[in-house]
Structure 1
Amino acid sequence: MNIYQPRYSAIALAITLATQVSPAAAEQATQSEGKLERIEVTARKTVENLQTVPVAVTSIGETDLLENGISVLSEVQQFSPNTTLQASRGTNSTLTAFIRGVGQQDPLWGYEPGVGIYVDDIYLARPQGAVLDLLDVQQVEVLRGPQGTLYGKNTIGGAIKYVTKEMSGDATFNVEGTVGSYNQRDLKITGQLPLVEDTLYLGYGFATLNRDGFGEFKVSTLPGQDKENYNKEIQAARLTLEYRPSDDLFFRLAWDKTDDDSNSKGGYRLLPSLLTDAPVPDSVFDSYTSMPTWNKVELEGYSLTARWDLSDATTIKYIGASRDSYSPTNIDFDNTPLRIFDVPAIYDDEQTTHEIQLSHAGNGYKFVSGLYYYDGESCGQFQAILEVLGQSLGAPGLTREVSGCNNSNSKAAYIQGTIDLAEQWSLTLGARYTKDSKEAQVSNGLIFDVVYPESNWIPGYTRPAGELVPSVLDDEEDWSRFTPRVGVEYQYNRDIMFFASYAQGFKSGTFNPRASTAEPAADPEIVDSFEIGMKSEWNDNLRANITLFTLDHKDRQYISVLPGATSADLNQRLGNIGKSTANGIEAELSYVATEALSFDAAIGYIDSDFEEVLDTNPDTGATFDKSDRFSISNTPDLTFNLGATYKLYSDIGDWVFNASYYHRGDYVLFEEDSLLTQDSYGLVNLSINWYSTDGNWRVGLHGKNLTDEEYMIGGYQFVTPDPSDPSNVSKYTPGLGGDNTLIGYFGDPRTVSLTVGYRF
């Protein structure tokens, strides 16, 4: 189960920074006659009408982000069917994403995500690197299904794109303050300054986001620790320089930096501790810890975009970027005042990317092609501190230390185009060739003492000098893959299009960052997907986009926990265990009833299951299938969001009322023998927005989770059912550390916030 920390995500900050301006006037112009708004997307790396794109894509524009009070990435999942977006364990800003049952929940260095994250076509390779503040977001796009042709590896589930606006016009300055539940205190400043009229612009943004915790750490053995749990403390800044020397040339140089000093998350003990007398807390947001409560995420990035319109039909574009992230974090797995199973860790990532794109639209055809290069270094270390267990063995303590790097290099060439076969028929063909190289070093071993990653990790602690554990893995591997896409489209009339497609994606092979021996790398994962869909608009006020899909997920990578000689062993093996399948349907509906009233719905249903999970009996060497013990994690069978918007235009300003109900069906948190299942639940959200008649002032009142639902979105399980009575779910055998470690992390409680913004 994953530690849920979306409140602290700097991607969340990205959205809040980006949605400062008032789009009400444009919205009025678009829908004043009760007609659907035209939506443009960049899903195929060119700007196209959503209704002409034969891809299952959800676009959430700045108007929806603003008027629904969306401030965290996890809320974006409400708008996209069969989509899970949450924050993961380890750091406050690490992303876990699943689309159509495909993703990666373990954020350890070296593991590759299954859903790609892009900011203006810049790929963020690591989940810790998927958190940055953005300025002037135009829209967020969720592309469902493998995107292996245009977006490459690690998009086997889909891709999430943040599209920012280019600057133009006069100088602007926006300031916005928010107060709310749990002493929320936010200040955001954004704007642009023309340095040379119509030629050179400077954009800027700054935000400080703060909130007290939803709960607290009841007991901490370390003095002077901040006891706020689920709090928020973020500062972020961004500068953008845009240069237009002519109508045909555009350059953008951008810098961003985010510092997240929110506390580490404490989990909720679902079972009483066997080794302490601390009771199960009254609140799911309360916890115990024997670790420091501080946490840090530092992110910084630079990017350069250059675009040259060679003609009205041909454009060449270069995108280069460099990003760094550093995160020391504290995870108390057992959540007790004793060091039963404490895991301090450090994540340190760097990446550099370059991409050249060429797009052309001719008579009856169009295409996008490109060359891509990625070089990344992903390093880290963690200590599994089992002090109580070590003392029971007569030692001062016991620590399993794991450290290393999993570095990769990737080169790719791609092309995708559409050819008109007849007046109503068209054919889409795409291909990408990728060459991956990866090298890994892992050190892993036991230390019969309590060891932290660095000196002064806790007051007065000094780390011993030198290498403490042996190197167990030093290897490298290469993989290459050709990923195709084939589709056919039929334009029934101006407003209705049918499409069918086949697409393939792959997730990179990788080494095991927790390896205890020189084990080989796991091969890449492959997903083959078939879709049949319809994009339609009826009578200018009803949009119905429907997609049916089926996918085969082969060579799934999985970490198996192997039994050791003692409970101190943390032996984990990475391998390709088998395959799974999924079949489903997605419907996105918009209905403009009048010029004042509109309705939206996003509905997803998926039937996903493991077809084969192969393992080897360590005693006999025989291979056996254990798929009956596996479930697709983080994937409800049914998700839907029903929303309504009402607009009232008056002499004192314009009012926009939003109401929505979001439902998620049952889901498990782990693939194998999951003991953590979240029952279905629903979230009720209400928003009231007011815009002044001069367009300068905006006030937003937002209520989230108004029924105060408690829902689990992450956790840890280090217990097993009692083998003497496996049918009794209340009886467990202690796991690593010798305690009943079954921990839950929960989504936000009911919150209400008031935002006041002024623009000039």
Structure 2
Amino acid sequence: MTKRYLFSTAVGISMVYSLPAIAQDAPPQTTGPNIGLDDIVVTAQKRAENIQDVPIAVSAFSGDAIAQKSIGAIQGLSNLTPNVTLDAGSPFSGSSSVLTAYVRGIGQDDFAFNLDPGVGVYVDGIYLARTVGANTDLLDVERIEVLKGPQGTLFGRNSIGGAISIVTREPGEEFGGKAEITTGRFDRLDIRGTVDLPLIADKLLSTLTFSSTKRDGYVKRIPFPGTYVTDPLTSVPRSGTQTSDTEGGESQWTVRGKLLWKVSDSVKLTLSGDYQKGDQPGMASTLIKVLSNNGAPTFPGELFGSVYNLCINVPNALLPSAIGGNIQAMCGVRGTSGTSIGNANVDADPSNNRLTWNHQFITGDIDKSYATGPSFSRLQNWGLSGVLDADLTDNMSVKSITAYRKLNWAAGMDADGSPITIIEPGFTMHQQQFSEELQFSGKAFDNRLDYVFGFYYFRETGNLHDYVPFGQGLLQVDGFNTFKTRALAAFTHLNYRFSDQFSITLGGRYTDERKQFEGFQRDPNGFLYKLVLGKQLNEITEADRIALGFPDPTDPLRFYPTGLNKKKFTDFSPRVGLEFKPSDDVMLYASFSRGYKTGGWTTRLSNPETVAPDFDEETAKSWEGGIKSELFDRRVRLNVAGFYTEYNGIQLTQTNGISPTTKNAGNAEIYGAEAEFQAVLTDAVLLTGSLGYVHDRYVEKLPGTTAGDRLPKTPRWKVNISPKYTLDLEAKGQVIAMVDYTYTSSLFNNTENTVELKRKPVNMVNASLIYEEPGKSWSITIGGTNLANERYITTGQFQPGGGLIYGTYSRPREWYAKLGVSF
């Protein structure tokens, strides 16, 4: 199917569909009260406008709707948004604070510093550069806008798939506030509160908001039976040694403050600050399959699980030399632990026997694990910002957004689900960013032209340290990496109305970006020297280093090439669109847009390299056609869009041997459609729903890729139906009943399309019942999530080098009860 056919079909369907609406220029006769839908105001085009006038596919959620559905983090919007997948956590990150976001098949499923998001997340116009911490607490939110398709013109680099814009509430002009407390399954206890504090009436306003969330994990760690020897957690380099009795729990708090100064009728200044601190168990992990055996490695690329078994179960002196180098050296004293595992189970001394790595660690219960390794996620994330809004003339205004953010993060997980250290990844990240955006907007030519133009500066520095021990410390990945990015951009967005019916949109953004990176990844155990040369650490010579290709004369254990790596990227991302309004309630549009995401370097090495392996930028060209309409005296709102995308140079993380590496996997075409509707059926019943369809396929795979046939995190179908019933009890208050049902077809969680990690089709049901007293000064909510108890894999890794497949299952059925008060 060609893009021309698909695009014209989408527009054609929209025009046929619009005929009934065109015939309704005269309002229909009604006998009841006006119970039409309220306007939804968004800033998707950097100016406030009705969502029905925005020629972009946008899903918008008000703060009240988010609160009623008890959605606490961005991930919770996934079921309500067509062609969007939002997951808490990513493979081997060990932290639910990491956001994996995909829109229309485009996103990013890795948290590494060398990779940029494919879907940009913005809070009050400020870009969150890292996926770590992006699954942010939805605290005192006014609305959230999910923009689909490349948003490079107005939102910039790394919004190639789309953008998520979170807008927080401005301080109120009168004293007042809200507070709520929630309890639920797994000893849940959430506390939220916000208060408006006017300091000078109509002049200086402030608001302070606080949130605390806490609940136990849903995967329980249980002891593995028997007597055996294990190494202390301190025997290998780690990001931390904190453990937990459960996995998948939450414990964090957030505070945000805003100060609004109305300098004059035409100038206002908003100062904001937020601080988040989390110290909670690591992300839940379940061992799904073991690939290792007691003999030589047989699975392609599989190594450390089987080598560990060889070391402990076979007399080392009997092992053939064909296995490599000197097996006794491999199984002997390990670099940082100072102990040997060789002959552990065959030396006639049962007191030092070790467990064999095999399927015995699969518990048969996805909510139980034999893990004993680290389980923690510690996050400290804060920021300051200043937003200056000023009217320069009656037809022109300027906005300055200045922001600084800093993030400190550490996480550790036991991926193998056993008392053995087969693979237990851990990480630390320190990041800071500064940004300045200057926007000029206004009207010209007798208000026929709406324009926005501006400039953007961004600077980011930081480091990421990988700690990943394999095979009880046979390999100890110890990778410190430093990063620096500087980006400059200029942009414009114009909408010119030729008449009340026809208009054109033109936009473009030019970006100049510079990146720097230096990698220091090393192996303190010197596994390759033992494997190939049979040398212990104290026996390594300069000749050995040169023979095996290790690049650093000052550090014979360093894999990564020495020196500072630099890259420069330039890009122009245009947008062109046509809009036609046959009536006040119907708009048809067609558009073309382009987005891009910068390239970088692969940082995770387990073999020495002489040149830093890198990858190029990826690009997306997208054609979209759609219709936005309000029907039946604004009782029904129906928005439909069709799209076709050429997605080139796709950056995908794939496992090569033991190392998750990033490569340009190839090129793909993506096409599909989506529809969203709201219908006021009666004055008591509101029905909301959506339908999404995406078809993706590779048109070319580049050499060396292990990508499967489907793009990750991209279901073919998603259907949502959400009825809401309000029972008016008059002087006794009101009762609100809500149900959210979402069907999502199967998808693959990883690049390789590993069958064991495939997410099955899911039928998700959430429901709640709310009672509000007549003055709405207090309310009680009782609800449940995942009422059908659907258990599916949200993320995971195929790790042949370690000899296993592991993943994270979704949370089980949960209940909650909430008490809210307003004053």
Q: TM-score range by the shorter chain?
A: 0.7 to 0.9
Residue deviations 1:429-458 (CA, integer Å, cap 9, x gap)? 0011000100110112222189xxxxxxxx
- 1:286-318 CA distance string (max 9 Å, x none): 223242223211111111111102234321000
**Alignment map for 1:283-302 (pairs within 5 Å):** 283-302=365-384
For 2:736, the equivalent position in structure 1 comes to 656
Among 750, 767, 777, the alignment partner of 1:670 is: 750
1:604 counterpart (692, 706, 722) = 692
Q: C-alpha distance in 1, partners of 2:653/2:817?
A: 45
**Matching of residue 526 in structure 1 with residue 608 in structure 2:** no
> Residue 711 of structure 1: CA displacement?
1.3
Amino acid at match of 1:205: T
**Rounded Cα–Cα distance in structure 2 between residues aligned with 1:60 and 1:74:** 13
Check conservation: 1:413, 1:432, Cα contact below 8 A.
yes
In the TM superposition, residue 423 of structure 1 has moved relative to its aligned partner by 3.2
Change in 2 beyond 3 A, CA 1:83/1:308: same
Structure 1 residue 584 and structure 2 residue 649: aligned?
Answer: no
Contact persistence 2:267–2:389 (CA under 8 A): yes
CA distance in 2, matches of 1:574, 1:52: 40
Pairing partner for 1:445 from 518, 522, 536 = 522
Contact 2:732 2:773 in 1 (8 A): yes
CA distance in 2, matches of 1:604, 1:205: 35
Q: Does 1:499 align with 2:589?
A: yes
Q: 1:35–1:595: 8 Å Cα contact kept in structure 2?
A: no
- Separation in 2 of the partners of 1:657 and 1:133? 25
* Bigger Cα displacement from structure 2, 159-168 vs 43-52: 159-168
Structure 2: distance between partners of 1:34 and 1:285: 47
Q: Give the drift of 1:358.
A: 0.5
Q: Does 1:199 align with 2:210?
A: no
TM-superposed deviation, 1:282: 4.0
Matched, 1:480 2:570: yes
Describe the SS at the equivalent of 1:195.
coil
Instruction: State the Cα distance separating 1:333 from its structure 2 match.
Output: 2.5
The answer to whether the 8 Å contact 1:230/1:285 transfers is: no
User: Which segment drifts farther, 279-288 or 327-336?
Assistant: 279-288
Deviation of 1:470 after TM superposition, in Å, equals 5.5
* Bigger radius of gyration: 2
TM-score (norm 2): 0.79
Residue 377 of structure 1 corresponds to 461
**Partner residue in 1 for 2:63:** 62
Alignment RMSD, CA only? 2.1
CA contact (8 A) 1:110 1:379 kept: no
The Cα of 1:579 is off from its aligned counterpart by 0.4
Residue 182 of structure 1 aligns to a residue in which SS? coil
Structure with higher strand content: 1
Residue matched to 2:124:
120
Task: Name the aligned partner's letter for residue 571 of structure 2.
Answer: R
Counterpart amino acid of residue 347 in structure 1? M
Q: 1:117 to 1:572 in 2, by over 3 A?
A: closer
1:692 Cα deviation (Å)?
1.4
**Displacement after TM superposition at 1:744 (Å):** 1.9
Matched, 1:680 2:770: no
Corresponding residue for residue 547 of structure 2? none
Match of 1:422 in 2: 499
C-alpha spacing 1:561/1:134, structure 2 compared with 1 (3 Å)? closer
SS at match of 1:235: strand
Paired residues of 1:444 and 1:472 also in contact (CA < 8 A): no
- What does residue 796 of structure 2 align with? 715
The structural deviation recorded for 1:410 is 0.4
What are the equivalent positions in structure 2 for 1:343-742 lying under 5 Å apart? 343-362=425-444, 363-388=447-472, 390=474, 398-448=475-525, 469=558, 471-473=560-562, 474-515=564-605, 516-517=608-609, 518-519=611-612, 521-539=614-632, 540-559=634-653, 561-562=655-656, 570=658, 574-615=662-703, 629-650=708-729, 651-675=731-755, 676-718=757-799, 735-737=800-802, 739=803, 741-742=804-805
In 2, Cα distance between the equivalents of 1:331 and 1:225?
9
- How many aligned residue pairs are there? 675
What CA distance in whole angstroms lies between the structure 2 residues aligned with 1:103 and 1:586?
A: 18
Aligned-partner residue type, residue 404 of structure 1: N
> What amino acid sits opposite 2:76 in the alignment?
E
Q: Give the drift of 1:561.
A: 4.3
- 2:109 corresponds in structure 1 to 105
Rounded to whole Å, the distance in 2 between the matches of 1:92 and 1:283 is 21
Aligned residue for 2:77, secondary structure, equals helix
Separation (CA, whole Å) in 2 of partners of 1:544 and 1:296: 43
Query: Does structure 2 conserve the Cα–Cα contact (< 8 Å) formed by 1:34 and 1:593?
Result: no
How far has the Cα of 1:381 moved from its partner?
1.1
Q: Which amino acid aligns with 1:413?
A: A
SS in structure 1 at match of 2:82: coil
User: 2:72·2:137 contact (CA, 8 Å) conserved in 1?
Assistant: no
Partner of 1:211 in structure 2?
Answer: 215
Paired residues of 2:74 and 2:137 also in contact (CA < 8 A): no
Distance in 2, matches of 1:325 and 1:247, equals: 37
The amino acid across from 1:558 in the alignment is: L
Distance 1:145 1:606, change over 3 A: same
For residue 261 of structure 1, give the secondary structure of its aligned residue in structure 2.
strand
Report how far residue 571 of structure 1 moved: 5.2
Alpha-carbon contact 1:445-1:469 (below 8 Å) kept: yes
Aligned partners of 2:71 and 2:472: how far apart in 1? 44
Q: Which stretch of the first structure deviates more once superposed, 578-587 or 508-517?
A: 508-517
| Corresponding position of 1:753 | 816
Q: What is residue 298 of structure 2 aligned with on the other side?
A: none
Structure 1 length-normalised TM: 0.85
Kept in 2: contact 1:500–1:530 (CA 8 A): yes
C-alpha contact (below 8 Å) 1:662/1:682 kept by paired residues: yes
Q: What amino acid is aligned across from residue 344 of structure 1 in structure 2? A: G
Secondary structure, counterpart of 1:65 in structure 2: helix
List runs of 5+ in structure 1 lacking aligned partners. Answer: 1-30, 391-397, 451-465, 564-569, 617-624, 719-734
State the percentage of identical aligned residues: 28
Q: 1:32 to 1:323 in 2, by over 3 A?
A: farther
- Decide whether aligned partners of structure 1 residues 590 and 116 sit closer, same or farther in structure 2, where only a CA change above 3 A counts: same
Amino acid at match of 1:758: V
What letter corresponds to residue 665 of structure 1 in structure 2? S
How far apart are the structure 1 equivalents of 2:68 and 2:49? 25
Q: In 1, Cα distance between the equivalents of 2:112 and 2:635?
A: 47
Q: Which moved more, 1:674-683 or 1:638-647?
A: 674-683
Match for residue 156 of structure 2 among 152, 159, 168: 152
Cα distance in 1 between the residues matched to 2:660 and 2:143: 41
Q: Kindly tell me: are residues 591 and 49 of structure 1, through their superposed partners in 2, closer, same or farther at Cα, counting changes over 3 Å? A: same
Shift of 1:573: 5.2
The 2-side partners of 1:572 and 1:343 are apart by 12
Q: 1:608 & 1:288 partners in 2: Cα distance?
A: 38
C-alpha distance in 1 between matches for 2:624 and 2:692: 14
Question: In 2, Cα distance between the equivalents of 1:573 and 1:695?
Answer: 54
- 2:423 corresponds to: 341
- SS at 1:64's partner residue? helix
Shift of 1:478: 0.5
Residues 97, 136 of structure 2: 8 Å contact kept: no
Contact 2:371–2:418, Cα closer than 8 Å, also in 1: yes
For residues 732 and 661 of structure 2, the distance between their equivalents in structure 1, rounded to whole angstroms, comes to 65
Change (3 A) 1:526 1:437: same
Do the aligned residues in 1 keep the contact of 2:158 with 2:597 (CA within 8 Å)? yes
Higher mean C-alpha deviation, range 187-196 or range 633-642 = 187-196
Superposed displacement of residue 574, structure 1: 3.8
- Superposed displacement of residue 137, structure 1: 1.0
Q: 2:392 corresponds to which residue?
A: 310
Any stretches of 5+ residues in structure 2 without a counterpart? 1-31, 225-229, 234-241, 293-355, 528-553
Flag the 1:444–1:308 CA change in 2: closer, same or farther, 3 A.
same
